[in-house]
Amino acid sequence: MVSYEKHTENFESALLSIDRIAARKLIGGEVKFSSPFEIIEKIIAPALERIGSKWESGEIALAQNYMACKISEEIVESILPAEAPERARNPKIGVATLGDHHLLGKRMVISFLRSLGFKVVDFGTDEPAVLIKKLDEEEIDILLVSILMLNLTLKVKELRALIDSRKLKTKIIAGGAPFQLDPQLYLEIGADAMAINSSDIVKHINGWRCASLPAEEKFL
């Protein structure tokens, strides 16, 4: 029987030490997992959630959090090929900032999600009129929108109107400073959910994903 807790602690320690070799050995070592997805769900995701919590509480540096995501992303890419059925069950995710040019936070979210096996498309800082075409072309299921300035939340409202007018399936998860100050703001601008951190994002994604699966496939 696999000791997930101990393995997760060791993996977390390797990530915080930015030790790629040790992290890879822990994933591909003596402990045998039933599938790559078991590794992601039972080891990588919990370790990254702990690291994210430590960063938010000021226990570790931003660079440690970012590199932990990058190393995990590299490992997932090596153990979970693009055509893997585990990926096929995941929703297609897009990320945009709608005019804001704060890139580090967006990069961290993208790395975090890719490290869990999600396919993520970076749409940069496109305006709603441009972004809507790309959402349609890429068949995006969930769009993550990060906003720093309150006035830019109106662009989310504009984007929601465009999504509805085109009858797209895309759901919106909004995040950023304005939503932390007013947790109900996302409802006013037409977003489907609000997230404070990467773990919140994953909870929303998994909730929607699980709700859309047949009963026999709901393993999350």
Mean pLDDT of the chain: 84
Convert the pLDDT of each residue in 163-185 to its tens digit. 999 999 999 999 988 888 898 99
User: Mean pLDDT throughout 56-81?
Assistant: 84
pLDDT band at residue 206 using 50, 70 and 90 as cut-offs: confident
Q: Is pLDDT at 6 greater than 60 in this prediction? A: yes
User: Mean pLDDT throughout 204-212?
Assistant: 79
Q: Is pLDDT at 218 greater than 50 in this prediction? A: no
Higher pLDDT, 195 or 98: 195
SS3 letters across the chain:
CCCHHHHHHHHHHHHHCCCHHHHHHHHCCCCCCCCHHHHHHHHHHHHHHHHHHHHHCCCCCHHHHHHHHHHHHHHHHHHCCCCCHHHHCCCCEEEECCCCCCHHHHHHHHHHHHHCCCCEEECCCCCHHHHHHHHHHHCCCEEEEECCCHHHHHHHHHHHHHHHHCCCCCEEEEECHHHHHCCCHHHHCCCCEECCCHHHHHHHHHHHHHHHCCHHHCCC
Q: Is pLDDT at 219 greater than 50 in this prediction? A: no
pLDDT band at residue 216 using 50, 70 and 90 as cut-offs: very low
User: Mean pLDDT throughout 126-138?
Assistant: 93
User: Mean pLDDT throughout 55-79?
Assistant: 86
User: By percentage, how much of the chain surpasses pLDDT 90?
Assistant: 37
Q: Is pLDDT at 217 greater than 50 in this prediction? A: no
User: Mean pLDDT throughout 80-104?
Assistant: 72
Convert the pLDDT of each residue in 31-65 to its tens digit. 567 777 778 878 888 898 888 889 878 999 988 98
User: Mean pLDDT throughout 136-147?
Assistant: 93
Domains, the chain, in order of start with CATH, read 1-87 (1.10.1240.10), 89-220 (3.40.50.280)
